[in-house]
Structures are given as structure tokens and as C-alpha cells.
Amino acid sequence: MVLKIADRVFETSNTQGTVTLNLSGPVQGFRSFAAAFATSDKIPYVISDDVDWEIGVGTLTEGSPDQLSRDTVYSSSNAGSLVNWGSGTRNVRVGPIADLIYHRTENKNVIIGKGTATGDGTTHNVTMDINPLAYETGMELTYLCPTDVTGALNVNVGGLGNKAVKRNGADLQAGDFLEDDVCKLFYTGVHFESLLLTRFSDSEFASQPEAEAGVATDKPMNALRTKQAIEALVPEPIVAGAMAMWPTDTAPTGWLERDGSAISRTTYADLFAVIGEDYGVGDGSTTFNLPDDRGLFERGWDNGRGYDSGRTFGSYQADAVKSHTHTGSTDSGGSHTHTQNVSTGGGGSVGASTTSLTGSQSSYLSTGSGGTHSHSFTTAATGGTENLVKNRAYLPIIKY
């Protein structure tokens, strides 16, 4: 039973011998036991006069008079036994007993059931700061495991005898506790239960499929299984250097516009680790440049395919028109005549449109050659300032 304690409880008693005390009432300025406690409460007490003293635990019985039994004596002027009181008046107080109160550090932290242990892989002998007189349901103890557990474990506290240590009612297995592990135990009235998780074998943990699917909720998860479960739920992160087109005119958090800016090598260290100085050295020491993709179309690197032979990775390419020819013809010169005079071999003359001849004559007519020549022509212009396909303008961005 838990001991009760209260402040300013102080009475006197004239009871003689080793029997239950009859309480005579409170001393001026203090309370009676009955004012602070109830019948059947277990109370630590101190009884003293000018010569003898006794410290123990008693039980209150309210009545006329109120009585306090002397159930257990922890120390006394009679070598730890009940004092045989003679005549006279004695003082009876509530007195915290050093062996029964919580132990506190100088910082007022409560230390409950702390002990040290020796032993082997199957038996731990535990010595508490203050050893208990008996095992009691609900008692707790904490100590560091002295060595690796090799099988079913028993614990012996303060020489009270062995009690089994179990996990969920089952005996411990080899490796459940290793040297210097914290052993925190709770006494059930039959055995000690481990209040801290012990180690599990690989077969006891959830499998990777179970962890990723969120099933087998009665199985423990180690660090690896926890990581796998989280990765199954969370999409892969977008790595630094990933590029995209964004549908607003401002880059989202974690991204930068690909505008050729010089940015810090330390602030954007992850991005610098990917692209380095490929798109500009910045100031050569503290900054580097982003790609400048404003107003440009993106094109996959040829990488030996042959469509864009000789192209350097990441290089800029100006606009161009693929080599080609045009066919055409000039207009006809139209219907026309040529006039030419010739000399005759006899009388008469020959003209371009009349001929007068006397006698038998022959003549020859020729015109001068115009020479080899060509005609140039210009086709009408069409189109804009560059070659285009249907398109839409978005913001080019890069992940940092």
C-alpha cells in the first residue's frame, strides 16, 4: 500500500509498552492524524521522548481516541525493535522515513528504483540504492545491463530471490538486451515485465512490402523499414539542376529563372555541383552563371545521332535556314521583226520588205549575234524576322 504523508501533523501519547498508541490530540499549532488522514491509511511515524525514539510505519484507526498501530519498525533506540515505552508523555509526528521516500538529485529530479547490476547472460543480481524488504506489485527498477542476455533471464533484487523477466509474458531471447542497455522493469506480482523495447530478430520486423503497404501493424519497424515506408509514400524529390517551363512570370520557391544571372556558389552549392561553370564562370571565385534561355527553343543534344552533328553539349546555336533552291522563268519578249539591208551582185536592190532584181541573181542575208546573255529577276519577300513554329511563351526555370 502507498504511504500517506502530510505536513503539520503532531500529537502526543501516554500509551505504555509496545502496543498500539492512543493519540491524545494535536499540539498547539499542529493538526491531528485524523484531520490529515483517514482510517486504514498507512503513515510513516516518529515517536520520541527525551531518551528513546522509534521510526516506523503504522495504520490509523479513527475513534475515541484515535489510534496509530506500530506495524513496521525501521529503526529505533531499541536496536531496530519496538520500544517498550514507560510512563510519561511522548511526541508522535508524521515523519518521512529516509528509506521510504523518493530520492531526489540536487536539481530536485526524482530517481525511482535505480540500481546497479552484476551477473551473466541469464541472471542479474541488482542492488538498489535502498533495497526493498519484499517484492511488491507495481514496483519498478532501472539499471544498466551488465552483459549480453543469452536466453531466459531472471533478476534478483537485494537478495530477495530470482524473478523471471519477460516481454509481453514471454521469456527473453538471446540478444534481447546487450551490455549497457537500459533495463527498466515492472513487477506484476509474479514476474518482471520489460518496460523498454528489447531487440527483435529480423524475422520479427515487418517486411519491406508490409512496411510500404502499411500492413502488419502488430510488427515493429526498424530504421530501414521506416525509411522504406516513408519513401513509398513520398514522391522522389526533384533534384538540383532539373529544368522546366513555368506558367507564371515568377519562379516558384526552390527554383530560379534561367536568365543568365551570376549567383552565389555557396548559397546555391547543390546547383553549382551540377552545372559548375558550364554556362559562365561568374566572377571566377564566388559566383557562377545560370543558363540564359530567354526567348530560345530547347533542343535535345544530338549526342552522335547525326541530325545536329558536331554540336557541343549545352552550346548556343543561332537561327538559320536550311540550304535550298528556287525554280522560276522570265516573261516572253513578245512578237517582233528585224530589218536588214544587203548588197546585190548586179543591178537592183534588196530591201527588208521589197526586192527588185534584174537577171539571174543570188544574195546572202545575215544578222549580227546578240551574244550569250542572261536575265535576272527578284521574287517578292514574305514572312517575318525569323523562322517560327506555333508556340507559347513560358518562364524557363531551373531547380537549385
Whether residue 191 contacts residue 139, with contact meaning beta carbons closer than 8 Å, is answered with no
Instruction: Of 288, 287, 283, 294, give the one whose Cα is nearest residue 259.
Output: 294
Asked which of 25-39, 258-272, 331-345 is least confident by mean pLDDT, the reply is 331-345
What's the pLDDT at 200? 66
Of 74-78, 174-178, 233-237, the poorest mean pLDDT is in 233-237
pTM, entire model: 0.40
Q: How far apart are CA 12 and CA 23, in angstroms?
A: 6
Q: Using CA atoms, how far apart are residues 46 and 10, in angstroms rounded to an integer?
A: 10
The per-residue pLDDT for 326 is 78
The residue among 159 and 360 whose pLDDT is bigger is 159
Determine the residue type at 338: H
The predicted pLDDT at position 218 comes to 76
* 190-236 pLDDT, tens digit each: 999 998 765 666 677 888 888 888 887 778 787 888 888 888 888 77
User: What does the mean pLDDT of the chain come to?
Assistant: 85
Q: What is the pLDDT of residue 15?
A: 97
Count of Cβ atoms closer than 10 Å to residue 33 Cβ: 27
- Does residue 375 carry a pLDDT above 80? no
Distance CA 157, CA 104 (A): 21
pLDDT score of 287: 97
Select from 184, 115, 116, 175 the least CA-distant residue to 148.
Answer: 175
Backbone angles phi, psi at 202, to 5 degrees: -55, -35
Cis amide prior to 65 (ω within 30 degrees): yes
Give the pLDDT band (50/70/90) at residue 237.
Answer: confident
Where is average pLDDT lowest: 80-94, 196-210, 270-284?
A: 196-210
- Distance of alpha carbon 307 from alpha carbon 317, whole angstroms: 14
Cα–Cα distances (Å) from 348 to 206, 344, 365, in that order, read 129, 7, 16
- How much of the chain, in percent, has pLDDT values that exceed 90? 50
Which one, of 313, 291, 292, lies nearest residue 302 by Cα?
313
What pLDDT is recorded for position 104? 58
pLDDT of residue 265: 96
Predicted local distance difference test score (pLDDT) of residue 318: 87
Rounded-to-10 torsion of CA 361, 367, 368, 371: -140
Give the whole-angstrom CA distance, residue 237 versus residue 118: 50
pLDDT digits 0-9 by tens, 318-340: 888 888 887 776 665 555 555 55
Q: For the chain, give the percent of residues with pLDDT over 70.
A: 82
Can you give the C-alpha Rg of the chain in angstroms? Answer: 55
- The residue written with cell numbers 523518493 in the block is 102
pLDDT level of residue 363 (50, 70, 90 thresholds): low
C-alpha cell at 300: 535535345
What pLDDT was estimated at residue 60? 97
Assess whether pLDDT exceeds 70 at residue 80: yes
Asked if 14 and 47 touch (Cβ cutoff 8 Å), the reply is no
pLDDT band at 374 (very low <50, low <70, confident <90, very high): low
* Whole-number pLDDT of residue 352: 47
Q: Is 211 left (phi over 0), alpha (psi -120 to 50) or beta?
A: alpha
Q: Determine the average pLDDT of the residues in 75-103.
A: 87
CB atoms within 10 A of CB 347: 10
- Which range among 79-88, 97-106, 212-221, 288-297 shows the weakest confidence by mean pLDDT? 97-106
| Mean pLDDT lowest among 34-48, 58-72, 374-388 | 374-388
Chain segment 100-158, per-residue pLDDT in tens: 665 555 665 555 667 899 999 999 999 987 788 889 888 888 999 999 999 999 999 99
Q: Residue range 84-101: average pLDDT?
A: 86
Whether 253 shows a pLDDT value over 50: the answer reads yes
